[in-house]
Amino acid sequence: MKREFWRHFDFWLFGGVVFLCVFGVLMIRSAIAGNVVLSGLVNRQIIYDLIGLAIILGLAMIDYHYWASISHIIYIGMFLLLGGVFVIGAVAFGSARWIETGLVNIQPSEIAKIVIILVLANYFHQNQDKPHDWRWIANSLIITAGLVIWILLQPNLSMSIVMFVLWFALIWLSGLPMKALWWFAGAGVVGPFA
């Protein structure tokens, strides 16, 4: 199984992640050079990077079919978590986006980006043989809006826009009809002036 895992492992993608982690640490170190108060941020970032890389390797060992099979459960859990942030989230700078655990603060909307990719990918896969009509588009939009509504209520407009960009990218890659694409383009042009 280990040999099979490494045969299909995307070393280029993982290498890109490692490069960005190292680059990020160097940028933080450069930005706080000479600042004694912030000197601990470099070590903290390195620890977070190592934990993140370990999580990547751990999750990569799990067959992606498993994640697809529980995508509905993950979606419901994310929906409830985002709703919980709206109710009990820590308020900072006029918005409630964080859950305080005592050790680290968690921003569920960041996790929601991964969840929406997983859930929409599963939806488009299961419906790839169905007509790519307005119902197909609307259903995927409803799935996305189910999470975005909580993010908008935090409020967090920038993350909401990112979620819709992810939705559009996935629906386009899944075979968005050219007619619908022109409708979206027209709405994008006319929308700001409406």
Q: How far apart are CA 166 and CA 39, in angstroms?
A: 35
The percentage of the chain sitting over the pLDDT mark of 90, rounded to a whole number, equals 34
Please check the confidence at residue 183 and state whether its pLDDT lies above 90.
no
What is the tens place of the pLDDT at every residue in 25-58?
Answer: 999 888 887 777 777 788 888 998 999 999 888 8
Runs of H (alpha helix) within 32-107: 40-60, 64-69, 71-88
pLDDT digits (tens, 9 = 90+) for 72-103: 999 999 999 888 887 776 555 555 666 666 66
Tell me the β-bridge partners of 100.
105
Q: Which residues contact 82 (CB under 8 A, 6 or more apart)?
A: 108, 109, 112, 147, 150, 151
Q: Are 82 and 150 in contact (CB under 8 A)?
A: yes
Q: What is the pLDDT of residues 160-179, one digit of tens each?
A: 999 999 999 999 888 887 87
Closest by CA to 121, choosing from 81, 167, 84, 156, is: 167
Q: What is the pLDDT of residue 188?
A: 67
